[in-house]
Amino acid sequence: MKKYDVIIIGGGHAGTEAAAIAARAKASVALVTFSKDNIGMLSCNPSIGGLGKGHLVREIDAMDGLMARCADKGGIHFRVLNRSKGAAVQGPRVQLDRDLYKKAVQEEIQKQKNIEIIEAEAKELLIKDKKIIGIKTEKDEIYGKAVVLTTGTFLKGLMHVGESQEKGGRLGEKESNGLSESLKKAGFKLGRLKTGTPARLRAQSINWDACEAQPSDILPEPMSYLTKEIKNDFVTCYLTETTEPTHEMIRKNVERSPLFNGQIGGTGPRYCPSIEDKVVRFPHHKKHTIFLEPEGLDSDLVYPNGLSTSLPKDIQEKTIHDIKGCEKAEIVQYGYAIEYDVIDARVLRPSLESKDIKGLFFAGQINGTSGYEEAGAQGIVAGLNAARYAQEKSPVYFSRTESYIGVLVDDIITLGVDEPYRMFTSRSEYRLYLRSDNADQRLTPLGIKMDVIGEERKKDFEEKKEKFERTKTRLQSTFIASNKSVWNALKQTGVNLSNFENILVDEDVAKQIEIESIYEGYIKREKVDIGKIKKDEEIKIPSDFDYRKLGGLTNEMMEKLERTRPETLANARRISGITPAAIIALMKTLRKRA
C-alpha cells in the first residue's frame, strides 16, 4: 500500500508547481500522470508571460517556483510588452523552445528528492466521511492525506475539427472520464468550457520577406530573479495579418464551425477567441494581426498566434493561404477546439481546498481558468496548502492586496467564472503596488516564512534587499540642490540615474530604484486603501453562519451568500449583487458575535 502526504494528479503547469512546492515544504509527494515524458509540455502556445500573465510568472518565481527559471533556460525570444507605458502595466514575455522548456521542467522535478512520479490514470477519488484518503488508478490504490486535482483539459476532453469529433485531453492523448464521475458522486456540479489551438505551419514554406520582423529585445530581461545571463541563441518572430477576403470566406462557412452549429456546448475564452469568433463578433475589423512564432531552435514548426480555430480542414487551408506570407504554407497539424469539464470554483476556500471534502484541492483549468501562468499560480497555492494540510498546519491565504495570485484566487472563488478566466493588470485595484519588478519584495518573505525558499534564492533576495535599502537611503541623503535630493529628482519626467554620472548604483537594483521613486507617493495612497481591505480580511465569517437570520437580505443575495459561503467580509464585499447595506448589516452581526 503506497502512502504519501500529497498526491498530485496531472503533470502540467499547475501540477508541476504544486508538486515542487509541496516537496519544498518537506511533504512526500506522488505526481500521477499519464506519461512522465510529457511532464512540463507546452500544450498550446510556446510562450510564457505577457500583460498580467508576466506578473504571475514573477510571483511564482518569488515563491521559488519553476516556471520563470525554466522559461529562461528555454527562452529564444524576449520582449517586455508595454515598455513605453508605466512600469505597473509592463509585462515580460518570452518565446520558448518547446523541448528546452520541457527538459528544464523535468530536470527541476527530478531534483526534488521527495517526489515520486507514477505513470497511471487516476480513475476515482477515495473519500471517507467527507475526507479525501487517496485515489484509485487502473493499477491500484494510492493513499494520501491530501490530493490536488490539476487535470487541465483532460476531464471528458472532446476535440473538434469541423464536423468531426475525437475524444482526448489534447492531440494524441486520451481523455479522463473516471474522475468526472467521481466528482459528481462527491457532490460537485460540473460545467463545460472550451479552448482551442491554431494549426502548425512548416517554417520553410513561409515567405518571411512578406512579413514584418519582430526581433527579440537586444538586452533581454530574464523572467526569473535568479537568472543572471540568457545563454540561448535568439530567433526572430514575425507579424502578418488576415485580409477581408479571408473574413468573407469564413463568414460563408461559419455554419461549418462547431462553435456556431451547436456542436460545442462549452464557453470559449473571450480574450483569446478563435479566428471565426473574431470575424463574427468584430465585423468592422478588416484585418486581424497574426504573430508567426517559431517553436524552437531546431524545430521547423511555426505557431500562428491569433489563428486559433476549429473550422474544417479545407477551410483552415483556405484561411491560412489567404494570409500574407502564408500563400504556400504547409500545414503540419490542423487547429482544433477542445471541450472539457470544470468545477464551480466558488465551492473552494482561498487555499483552493474544497469546502465540502477535506484535503481535496483544485488548481488550473479545472477551476475555470485559461493559460499556463494562471495554472502555475494556482499550483503554488494548492500545493503549498495541501502540504500544510497534510502536516496539520494552518493554511496560507494570498491576499489580493499583496499579489496577482491573490487577485486570481479571490476572483474565481468569489465571483466564479462563466468563461475561461484570464489575468489582466486591470483586474487589480492596486496595480501600482503589484508590479512585476517587485514581486520578490512582496512574496519572497512569505516563502521564507513558510520555509519553501531554497538557500540560493534566500541569499540572493536578502543581498538585493540590503543593497536596495542602502542605495535608497544614500540617494535620499544626497542633495543636488538645497532642498532636493537625488531620490526626489528621480520623480521628475525624463530624469533617471544616467543623469547623475557621479552617483554609482548597482545594476541589479537600478531599475527598481527609479520605479520606486516615481511611484512612492501613489503607493502610499494605495496602502491606505490596502489597510482597509486587510481589516475586512481579518473579519472571519463562520462556515455555519445562517444568512436567513440577517435582516434586509433579498432572496437573491441570500442565495448568493449561501452558495459562495465567503470566508471573510472582504470576500463577501466582492460578490456581485451584495449591497453596501447588506455588508454593513453582516459586519455589525459578526462584530457582536466576536
Looking at the structure, tell me whether residues 14 and 90 fall in a common domain: yes
Q: Which of 16, 29, 34 is nearest to 120 (CA)?
A: 34
User: Exposure of 446 by Cβ count < 10 A (0-12 exposed, 13-18 middle, 19+ buried)?
Assistant: middle
Average pLDDT over residues 208-230: 95
| pLDDT value at residue 540 | 92
Output the domain CATH number for residue 250. 2.40.30.260
Centre a 10 Å sphere on the Cβ of residue 479 and count the other Cβ atoms it contains. Answer: 14
Core vs surface per residue 319-350: b (16+ CB within 10 A) or e: bbebbbbbeebebeebbbbbbbbbbbbbbbbb
pLDDT at res. 502? 86
Q: Environment class of residue 449 by beta-carbon count within 10 Å: exposed (0-12), middle (13-18) or buried (19+)?
A: exposed
493 and 395 part of one domain: no
**Residue 9 and residue 135 in one domain:** yes
Domain C-terminal end among 402, 424, 449: 449
Domain end, chosen from 338, 372, 388, is at 338
- Reading the block at residue 112, the C-alpha cell is 526534488
Are 532 and 520 members of one domain? yes
Please give the pLDDT value at position 276. Answer: 92
Q: CA geometry: angle at 8 spanning 2 and 14, to 5°?
A: 165
Q: Are residues 352 and 276 in the same domain?
A: no
Judgement on whether residues 404 and 500 belong to the same structural domain of the protein: no
* 542 DSSP β-pair partners: none
Residue 94 CA, chain-centre distance (Å), reads 15
The reply to whether 376 and 406 lie within a common domain is: yes
Considering the domain architecture, whether residues 440 and 486 belong to the same structural domain is answered as no
> For residue 185, is pLDDT > 80?
yes
Report the pLDDT value the prediction gives residue 338, as an integer from 0 to 100: 94
Does one domain contain both 438 and 379? yes
CB–CB of 331/320 below 8 Å?
yes
Of 121-130, 267-276, 290-299, 513-522, the poorest mean pLDDT is in: 267-276
Can you give the pTM of this predicted structure? 0.94
The mean per-residue pLDDT over the stretch 130-139 comes to: 95
CATH number for position 574: 1.10.150.570
Q: What burial class does residue 205 get, using C-beta atoms within 10 Å of its C-beta: 0-12 exposed, 13-18 middle, 19+ buried?
A: middle
Last residue within a domain, chosen from 303, 338, 373: 338
Put the strands of the sheet holding 190-197 in their side by side order: 164-167, 158-161, 336-343, 190-197
594 pLDDT exceeds 80?
no
| DSSP characters over 187-226 | TPPEEEEEEEE--EEEGGGS-GGGSEEEPPPSS---SSTT
Asked if pLDDT for residue 506 goes beyond 80, the answer is yes
Residues 131 and 254 in one domain: no
In this structure, are 432 and 411 located in the same domain? yes
pLDDT tens track for 62-81: 999 999 999 999 999 999 99
Averaged pLDDT, 431-437: 94
**Region 294-310 average pLDDT:** 96
Which helix (H) or strand (E) is 72 found in, with range? Answer: helix 67-74
Q: How confident is the model at residue 581 (pLDDT cuts 50, 70, 90)?
A: confident
Q: What tens digit of pLDDT does each residue of 237-295 get?
A: 999 999 998 999 999 998 998 888 888 877 777 767 899 999 998 889 999 999 999 99
Residues 138 and 121: their CA atoms lie apart, in Å, by 6
Residue 59: enclosing H or E segment and its boundaries?
helix 53-62
Nearest to 162 by CA among 341, 329, 315: 315
Q: How many domains does the chain have?
A: 4
Residue 37 region by backbone torsions, left for phi larger than 0, else alpha for psi between -120 and 50, else beta: alpha
Mean pLDDT of 538-547: 90
Nine-digit cell at 215?
Answer: 526581433
Cα angle value 260/337/241 (rounded, 5°): 85
DSSP string, 318-336: HHHHTSTT-TTPPEEE--E
Query: Are both 471 and 561 inside the same structural domain?
Result: no
Range with the poorest average pLDDT among 50-59, 100-109, 549-558: 549-558
Find the distance separating the first CA and the last CA of the chain, reported in whole Å: 46
Q: How far apart are alpha carbons 402 and 399 in whole angstroms?
A: 5
| Predicted local confidence at residue 271, as pLDDT | 67
The domain that holds 533 is classified in CATH as: 1.10.10.1800
* CATH code of residue 12: 3.50.50.60
pLDDT band at 427 (very low <50, low <70, confident <90, very high): very high
Average pLDDT over residues 160-184: 92
Its domain, for residue 484, covers 455-537
